A = this chain, B = another copy of it.
């Protein structure tokens, strides 16, 4: 099967200490999920539904087959057409999966799968959009259980006011036994992680790229410090670069893995607003910290307040109340909306070197036909350009979120 054997021996060889140290669960299932994480982009609903229905091993066999073989998959409520299309985007990545596991072994990254004690219970709320597995470094056991947790997120271009508030809330929460989740970005995220560490509390960083390379590079030290008493996780395997799509998908995880999300500062079009929408989509309470209306870094927060989408947070007591009132309602239609294929295609393009459609499709995790269709639409919109040697992205433009 494309050079991949789904046997206990092959699993033991491939996972090595990843498998041995995990201790719990079926190693072949773990192996299959690890491979799956290399085939899919985060939040692949078809893969999620298929794995939930027939198991990761059988689903992987179906994915690797060259044709047909979907008989049991009907149970997942997926159409034959969806599945065949999905296989078109998974197939080109099969070759990259074993090297990703090899990198994880070398980097000392651990594997956590559903059913493990360390699997975060809250991830189940994502339904078919849940990660197939998590790659983790640090005190992995902290991920399991239901210790109270809140996400502190916000602008990278933060003000000193925003950083002070992020640090204040995170330190207060951490000291009170509330874990602080964030994305290890510059600005608000970094201030929250660092303050939680200083307070001697638990903090969890959720990364958009593989754990073998920290992004942004300037936060390497911070991330290393987090691994000593907290956890750093990603749903993409080692060797995966953080792309715009993966940042957006990562935001759904930040929202999902915590009891409530608090946005400390966000510009009018900040990426933190995307995390906000994910929190709303899965029914997690959303809070925002107000700031001066003269500050561009608070415009996104005020926008959410005005629209009645978030609660006004003025201190740790308000955070406690936010967590206490939390409800968990899964709404699949909304979660999916924010992860669109257009973004993936744009991520897969370069502004300098032209790429052929098949290359774009592989990088985007899409079938060649899908990628071609989307490239055509994006060309009409004037955001991509077709050259003799392939596709290029046009001027990065003002719409960049990250």
**Complex contact B312–A305 (CB within 8 A):** yes
Known: A161-B292, A164-B294, A290-B293. A306 touches B302 (CB 8 A): no
State the CA gap A289–B306 with chains docked (Å): 11
Q: Is A165 among interface residues, defined by CB-CB distance under 8 A?
A: yes
Binary per-residue interface labels of chain A (287-312) against chain B in the complex, 1 for a CB within 8 Å, 0 otherwise: 00111111000110010011000011
Closest to A298 in B: B290
Most central of A292, A294, A298, A305 by chain B CB within 10 Å: A292
State the CA gap A393–B281 with chains docked (Å): 57
Which residues on B sit within 8 Å (CB–CB) of A382? Answer: none
Interface residues of A (CB under 8 A from B): 161, 164-165, 289-294, 298-299, 302, 305-306, 311-315, 318
**Complex contact A302–B294 (CB within 8 A):** no
Q: Looking at the complex, which one of B161, B299, B311, B318 makes contact with A314 (CB distance below 8 Å)? A: B299
Which residues on B sit within 8 Å (CB–CB) of A165? Answer: 293-294
**Complex contact B312–A302 (CB within 8 A):** yes
Known: A292-B292, A302-B312. 8 other contacts (CB 8 A): A290-B298, A291-B293, A293-B313, A299-B314, A302-B314, A305-B305, A306-B311, A306-B314
State the CA gap A314–B268 with chains docked (Å): 12
Most central of A289, A299, A302 by chain B CB within 10 Å: A302
**Complex contact A161–B294 (CB within 8 A):** yes
Which residues on B sit within 8 Å (CB–CB) of A290? Answer: 290-293, 298, 302, 305, 312
Q: How far is the CB of A305 from chain B (nearest CB, A)?
A: 4
Which residues on B sit within 8 Å (CB–CB) of A299? Answer: 314
Q: Looking at the complex, which one of B164, B293, B311 makes contact with A315 (CB distance below 8 Å)? A: B293
Top-7 shortest CB links A-B: A290-B290, A305-B312, A293-B314, A306-B312, A302-B314, A302-B312, A161-B292
Q: Looking at the complex, which one of B289, B293, B302 makes contact with A293 (CB distance below 8 Å)? A: B289
State the CA gap A376–B152 with chains docked (Å): 53
Which residues on B sit within 8 Å (CB–CB) of A292? Answer: 161, 290-292
Which residues on B sit within 8 Å (CB–CB) of A298? Answer: 290
Closest to A301 in B: B290
State the CA gap A311–B298 with chains docked (Å): 16
State the CA gap A214–B191 with chains docked (Å): 50
